[in-house]
Amino acid sequence: MKKTRSVRSASISSDTSSDLKHSSSSTIITIILLGIALRATTSLYDFSGYKNPPMFGDYEAQRHWQEITINTPIEEWYVNTTKNDLLYWGLDYPPLTAYHSYILGKVAQKFNPAYVELNESRGFYSDEHKLFMRTSVLITDLLIFFPAAVLLIKSFKESPKSDFLGLVSLLYYPGLLLIDYGHFQYNNISLGLAIAAIVSILKDKDLLASVLFCLALNYKQMELYHSLPFFYYLFRKCFAFQNSWIPFRFMYFIKLANSVILTFALCWIPWLYSNDRLMSVLTRLFPFNRGIFEDKVSNFWCVLNIFVKVREMYNVEQNLYACLGATAISILPSMLTLFFYPSKQGFTYAVLNSSLGFFLFSYHVHEKSILLAVIPAIILINKEPQIVFWFLQTATFSMIPLIVKDNLLIAFLGLNILFESLFRILNVDNNKRKSERILKNLRILSLLGCVTLTILHIFGPVPDKLPHLYELLISSYCCVHFIFFLLYFTVKQFLIRNEN
């Protein structure tokens, strides 16, 4: 009798486990399908530089790179020539972006040669071409970002509801959708590769993590924001093997170093034959002559410039040293904590702190670069939902001048309302904690400030003597928030330094 009951109990347990897995898989598929629908809907809106000659915007930049890469020799992709005018959206991203542009250019040429005809296609636009460009973003999402997001969530091994919150946050985050599917970029590639590299770290697949992160860095140089935590964590791990001979530890370091060197070498082969070729790329990737900042970005230097004209008072070299020093100081506590108290959870906090420090204090930061801090923040959303969601809310709002400029305000409102609603549904259990309730109240108060500044930016009178008043108010408001978040997460990383 007891044996029969035991068999029945085991059978019920197995059926329940099977039902949970089926339910989880069905929910993940539903989340993915809705994510695709949201991307398709956002794609219907305008893009950067729509019908705005002579330079247009990022949409034209991406199209132009396709034109250049398929119509000029590879050694001229980053060089100013009669066929490649660098003043007109010259390539300024690493080789993987150029290779990606080449592949898309070849595909575009098959559909319609007019899309990428040398010189004659500048500012080209048609409904069919817009569909082609939008679809190319979605395909890279499905091939890289979506799989990386699902792998990351599955590595959490927490409750299904918490996992769904993380996946929804990754796939539905309004800022990324508005930039990639509205404004028009391919951030999903570098960010997807970075997520995959983080997953590899969490699963102790360090060589794979090195390769994946190098690929992310070779697609967009802004991945440098994440580079130091990877370096500190992996370098420290070389000393972490207990009861191992020193030669074994050294060989582990050599393996990691070789994975980095070989990945970079494969990406850069066409430009390694001469110093001139190599420098032609490097000077495009790091255009220091463009100044300490460009648009009204929510970082320290833009806000400081309101009171002290750092852009005009100091030369490029002085500003570079100031940025280097300030960035190093801002992230040093986090990196030291990671090195002396290495843990996987600490690594995730360090990636967030590093990207925030770079965004706030490094040289020539774009408003879209806050996306680099968004991804590691979302990884922590199950542990600290309210403050992470508060950060996501602020990060999206910090781009509101760009969003309004691109006529994406309706999409912005719709995506944010949906995102807020889903967060409330999936985070109901965590609101019972007192600390989370306090942070929730602070977040709502902060949101009221965002709403007020948005209304002023759109409808408020603009003083003749202060034409950028509202943009600077938004930048200052968000900058103060980001400094607070950096301090909070740096302290939190120290407090959890011994947790895995």
* Structure confidence at residue 210 as a pLDDT band (50, 70, 90): very high
User: Chain centroid to CA 141: how far?
Assistant: 13
* Structure confidence at residue 157 as a pLDDT band (50, 70, 90): low
Residue 479's alpha-carbon distances to 171, 389, 394, in angstroms, are 25, 17, 9
pTM of the model: 0.92
- Phi, psi angles (nearest 5°) of residue 468: -110, 25
pLDDT tens-digit map of 81-94: 999 999 999 999 99
Question: Which residue is it, tokens 């028009």?
Answer: 184
Q: Is the pLDDT of residue 324 over 90?
A: yes
User: Chain centroid to CA 129: how far?
Assistant: 26
Q: Is the pLDDT of residue 8 over 60?
A: no
**What mean pLDDT do residues 62-81 have?**
96
* Structure confidence at residue 405 as a pLDDT band (50, 70, 90): very high
With CA atoms as reference, report the closest residue to 369 among 230, 187, 198: 187
The tokens describing 449, both together, are 């400030």
pLDDT tens-digit map of 365-400: 999 999 999 999 999 998 899 999 999 999 999 999
**What mean pLDDT do residues 158-174 have?**
84
* Structure confidence at residue 445 as a pLDDT band (50, 70, 90): very high
Q: Where are the domains of the chain?
A: 7-42+126-495
* Structure confidence at residue 163 as a pLDDT band (50, 70, 90): confident
- Do residues 147 and 405 lie in contact, with contact meaning Cβ atoms separated by under 8 Å? no
pLDDT at residue 115, rounded to an integer = 96
pLDDT at residue 181, rounded to an integer = 97
Q: What is the mean pLDDT of the chain?
A: 90
